Structure 1
Amino acid sequence: MSRKKFDIRRVPGVGIICAVISVIFWSTAGLCIKLSTDVHALEVLTISAIIQTVIYFLVMVYQKVNYLGECTERIPLFLRCTLGTVSMACLYTSYRLIPLSDATTIRFTAPVFVAAFAYLLLREPFGRMEILCACITITGCVLVGRPTFLWGSGTGLTTDTILGLALALSAAITIAISMTVMRKLQKTPAPVVIFWFSLETVCLGLVSLWVLDEYKWPSTGNVWLIIAMTGLCGASDQLFITLALKLENAGPVAVVRALSVVISFIFSVTILNEKILVTSFIGGALIFASIIVMGVYKWRTDYKSDEKAPVGDECCPENNNKTYTIGGLSVVQVLPSVQSYSIYPSYMARAVDLSAPHIFSYLDVQHVKAPEARQPV
């Protein structure tokens, strides 16, 4: 008797579990950066990126994918890697200037910026719910930042604090633009994207350290251990968020990712002993609520869209769609012009193009074949 092959998708809530693990690794990486004060933040980023580059190079070799990505998507790939590198550099530097909780909170305003940029650049819908979440997010950022034109000169804002807040906001904006650009990467596998993102981070990090003359060889084994943990946590975060979005819709994953804000506050108070202002708690709560609302809204949107999507014989031949059998199910080939509307579109291509067979292996679909022609009755 042959054993049935284990299918991870049969495990209840496995996508949510992967998202929770991703959140833990992401938050732990931020904590490691705060603890590694002996070396420059960009040096931590560079060494961590070297670890990720090696890991995902091995993944590409194992999966036997095209290392350069699709030839028609190399410009979006370059933009995504550059913007992602700038975002990570801004975020890592902000960790050293402001509390971990404040930097993480502002960084996770990115989903709202994604919706705004998708409306401006891709003409995607930006309705009342997106406007409401944007207003809540802006209010939360104001409470965290406490600008002097609202609180007066007695806020205690130093130059480092202002710079840290600006860098965290820049990280959110650049990663939002990067996510928007990622919607053009419908055929490039996720390991290729992460590999080139990590490699570009290494190159730009080395150049930046040389220009700033801030390179310092880690002096103790503890520093090396923390830096190595940062890289491993970053690579693990990328792995589990990719798995989460393969196994679950983007909406619930975004809701779970909002837990990063809560965990960062816990780390700030219990481990780092950072002083957290009441306004930061309120602002963090507002941004957390905004992410939850946006995630649930996208979740419902995805669910309704899946209900309305035509399958099998419901496909209209005049629309030039084709019906294929995937894993025993009849589905409709979605034309590549259809764009993904996920909050985190960088890991899941909803626009299926059968000219890119690796997409199906990426979605854990092993057998793709055209349906047999029907015999006339």
Structure 2
Amino acid sequence: MKIVTNILVDDITKSNTKTTTDNNNNISIQVDNGLIPTTQPSSSTTPGHNKSPVNGMVAKLVALPEHIPAFGLFSALFGVTMFSLASLIVKLLTELHSIEILVFRCVIQFVPYFILTVHKKHPFFGIVGHRLDLGLRCLSGTISMITLYMAYRLMPLTDASTIYLSSPLFVTIFAYILLKEKVTIVQALTGILTIVGVFIISKPVFLFGETNDDSNAVDIYPNRMTGIILSITGAVTSGYSLINLRKLRSTPVPVIVMWYSMVTVVIGSVLLPFIDRWILPYGLTTWLLLLAIGIAGVFNQLFLTLALKYESAGPISVTRSFNIVLSFIWEVTIFYEPVEWTSIAGAGLISSCVVIIALNKCYQENPEKFQKFYGRLLLCCKPQYRSESDSIVDTISESIDKQTNN
């Protein structure tokens, strides 16, 4: 008799195992964290019933996350890449106002999540008791994205992305004020370093003075300081939006994304006539880029949801720093803009603070999960560990076969 086992190797190597058999002759393995059932088809199953190509393909897709080490982290990296591609498109579509681009993105993003909400029969107006939180999340998220998209046009892409990445600092502040959470020493120190990083990027005259080396930057971005203020506003409202998301854990993700997209479309459509910048897009390239930014928005939400399903929020936050790396790549390879030392220093300081905050939070929430996170990274980087783990699984499977045959 051949038994197929799906076992978490970390649990096996750290705990004692034993086998049990239920009334249906299904074998389970007892480990520290509970029973992991391992079944085989009964003799009454029709031969070839589960061998159709469609069923096999679906089974492989469902089991895919279990066979890829750090699947949640890879999903988060894909989500960050989609977000960065959207910011690149905002810089490329100079003929359209950034708010109009955001409106088109959210129109495309709204459609699949509206269909998903209706199909899954989710509560259309959100969970009772959390509708105010849903509205505040949509409003703050809309303000955050509008200010960020406008900042992309007024300053280097890397600087805007880096300042926006400082939102964990404001999450800590809002959590202290609104949720009465205590501020740790790590949060205080990283908060101070984040502020220093923002100052380095903004290069205030009273600290750096005026130099001739900055003449090209001033010519390219004459409204740089306005962009910095917009980026900081985006970071603040993003932090407040994340606080509201904490209260919406029981609200389905499609409902949140659907209403956020709808609110953004409404507010953006109201603002554009007042600034007299509503322009009908023209040309195949423009329409394709607008379609691409909408698709990027959909996949950004999809990969982020998958990431949070298979990984905790702490390690996921670390991957946000990858957006800064991509921004540097876009600036150098596509826009041919010079990268200043202040941008590199500020980006390194802020991204390091984000990584420290995320890892510290992950360790505080669940030390065991924190160590498993590093274990998965070792599995990903060192294939020999996988072979040792597979041998453990094979040994346990053989012992189950012997006990069953006896």
1:214-256 deviation digits (Å, cap 9, x = unpaired)? 0111121111111111111111111111110111011111111
- Give the letter for the 1:133 counterpart: T
- Give the letter for the 1:166 counterpart: I
Aligned residue number for residue 234 of structure 1? 297
The reply to whether residue 60 of structure 1 matches residue 117 of structure 2 is yes
The reply to whether residue 145 of structure 1 matches residue 145 of structure 2 is no
Alignment of 1:169-248 (within 5 A): 169-248=232-311
Aligned residue number for residue 39 of structure 1? 96
Aligned residue number for residue 328 of structure 1? none
Aligned residue number for residue 78 of structure 2? 21
Q: Distance in 2 between matches of 1:159 and 1:271?
A: 21
Runs of 4+ in 1 over 6 A off after TM superposition: none
Match of residue 107, structure 1, among 142, 157, 164: 164
- Give the letter for the 1:35 counterpart: L
Deviation of residue 61 (structure 1)?
A: 2.1
Aligned residue number for residue 267 of structure 1? 330
Unpaired runs of 5+ residues, structure 1, are 308-377
Q: Distance in 2 between matches of 1:52 and 1:234?
A: 6
Q: Distance in 1 between matches of 2:153 and 2:267?
A: 19
Q: Distance in 1 between matches of 2:169 and 2:160?
A: 16
Match of residue 82, structure 1, among 139, 142, 157: 139
Q: Distance in 2 between matches of 1:240 and 1:146?
A: 35
Conservation of the 8 A alpha-carbon contact between 1:60 and 1:67: yes
Aligned residue number for residue 380 of structure 2? none
Q: Secondary structure at the match of 1:72?
A: coil
Q: Distance in 2 between matches of 1:305 and 1:214?
A: 53
Deviation of residue 296 (structure 1)?
A: 1.1
Q: Distance in 2 between matches of 1:234 and 1:264?
A: 17
Q: Distance in 2 between matches of 1:186 and 1:288?
A: 27
Deviation of residue 34 (structure 1)?
A: 0.5
Answer with 44-53 or 220-229: which moved more. 220-229
- Give the letter for the 2:351 counterpart: F
Alignment of 1:116-135 (within 5 A): 116-135=173-192
- Give the letter for the 1:199 counterpart: M
Q: Distance in 1 between matches of 2:256 and 2:192?
A: 32
Alignment of 1:346-357 (within 5 A): none
Deviation of residue 213 (structure 1)?
A: 1.2
* Cα 1:77–1:286 shift into 2, 3 Å: same
Larger radius of gyration: 2
Match of residue 10, structure 1, among 47, 66, 71: 66
TM-score, normalised via structure 2 length? 0.73
Match of residue 153, structure 2, among 82, 92, 96: 96
Count of residues in Structure 1 that have an aligned counterpart in Structure 2: 307
Aligned residue number for residue 11 of structure 2? none
Q: Distance in 2 between matches of 1:159 and 1:255?
A: 33
The reply to whether residue 300 of structure 1 matches residue 357 of structure 2 is no
Deviation of residue 306 (structure 1)?
A: 6.9
Deviation of residue 153 (structure 1)?
A: 3.9
1:10-56 deviation digits (Å, cap 9, x = unpaired)? 23211111011111111111101100111111110001110011121
Q: Distance in 2 between matches of 1:230 and 1:264?
A: 16
Identical columns (%): 36
RMSD (CA atoms)? 1.7
- Give the letter for the 1:229 counterpart: A
1:188-237 deviation digits (Å, cap 9, x = unpaired)? 11110110000000000100001111011112111111111111111111
The reply to whether residue 48 of structure 1 matches residue 105 of structure 2 is yes
TM-score, normalised via structure 1 length? 0.78
Q: Secondary structure at the match of 1:68?
A: coil
Q: Secondary structure at the match of 1:272?
A: coil
Deviation of residue 121 (structure 1)?
A: 1.1
- Give the letter for the 1:259 counterpart: F
Conservation of the 8 A alpha-carbon contact between 1:249 and 1:302: no
Q: Secondary structure at the match of 2:223?
A: helix
Q: Distance in 1 between matches of 2:270 and 2:320?
A: 32
Aligned residue number for residue 317 of structure 2? 254
Unpaired runs of 5+ residues, structure 2, are 1-40, 42-48, 51-55, 371-406
- Give the letter for the 1:240 counterpart: F
1:150-199 deviation digits (Å, cap 9, x = unpaired)? 11244666651011111011000001011112222232111101100000
